[in-house]
Amino acid sequence: MRKTIIAGNWKMYKTIKEAIELSNGLKRELFKLDKQGIDVVLCPPFTALSEVAEVLVESDILLGAQDLYWQDEGAFTGEVSAKMLQEAGCTFAIIGHSERRQFFGETNATVNKKIKAALANALTPILCVGETLKEREAKETFDVLEDHLHNGLDGLNKEDVLRMVVAYEPVWAIGTGKTATPEQAQEVHGYIRDLLRKLYDKETALQIRIQYGGSVKPENISALMQQPDIDGALVGGASLQVVSFTDIVKKAAEVIK
């Protein structure tokens, strides 16, 4: 039985003050909910991690980073290591988000190093994979996913991948208001699980959680969560407000009840 995971990727939003306010609001509202044991993860920007970690003390909400660098320390101006993130209170790290691939030169090779660094520092990597609109239209979706997974997971064994989460985020659905239909998402999630079975084994594939991301909102989370291979959501825009994010968690909890 896979535990549902709902994560909020705040991207480059929220000053420290705003982040404290948002996390306090979420802590208060989510505490009132019967979350059915759902893992809820907040991923604020680096600057707010320590403060949000303070807010989350004595709550079961988890903290994640949006990226990391694979060396523990060194002359790498502007970078933040997995070790530093762990010390700041993180237990998760988003890796290979399409915005990093698109705007900051992230490749499968760097994604692979980052996953290994996360695992070595007790962080659960959330590996993001997904195709662009052009790739979908050219019917290359499955090839792109195979490339992201095969190369992103290079050299990782079964025990390693069992400590990971995969997030399917079709680039064309991110921040566009265009969600993949539940059927479109399920088709790809099923494909990813089958790929994991081929790369590892059935047992492993059945245990790995696969989240969907891309314009997830309170209005579409229930239908997405009803799909057999969708184990949660990675939420961008709708995670920036207490009401919408709480609603998403609440509706996901209702589906798994």
CA-to-CA distance for 214 and 224, rounded, in angstroms?
A: 11
Using the minimum distance from each CB to ligand 13P, give the nearer residue, 133 or 206. Answer: 133
Residue span 79-118 as binding mask against ligand 13P, x where in contact by CB under 6 A, dash where not: ------------------x---------------------
Which stretch in 114-122, 134-142, 181-189, 231-239 sits in contact with ligand 13P by CB under 6 A?
Answer: 231-239
Is 150 a known active-site residue?
no
CB of 200 or CB of 237, closer to ligand 13P? 237
Segment interacting with ligand 13P (CB under 6 A) among 84-92, 115-123, 129-137, 208-216 = 208-216
- Tell me which stretch binds ligand 13P (CB under 6 A): 13-21, 132-140, 154-162, 213-221: 213-221
Tell me the residue nearest to ligand 13P as measured from the CB.
Answer: 236
Residues binding ligand 13P (CB under 6 A): 9, 97, 169, 174-175, 213-216, 234-238
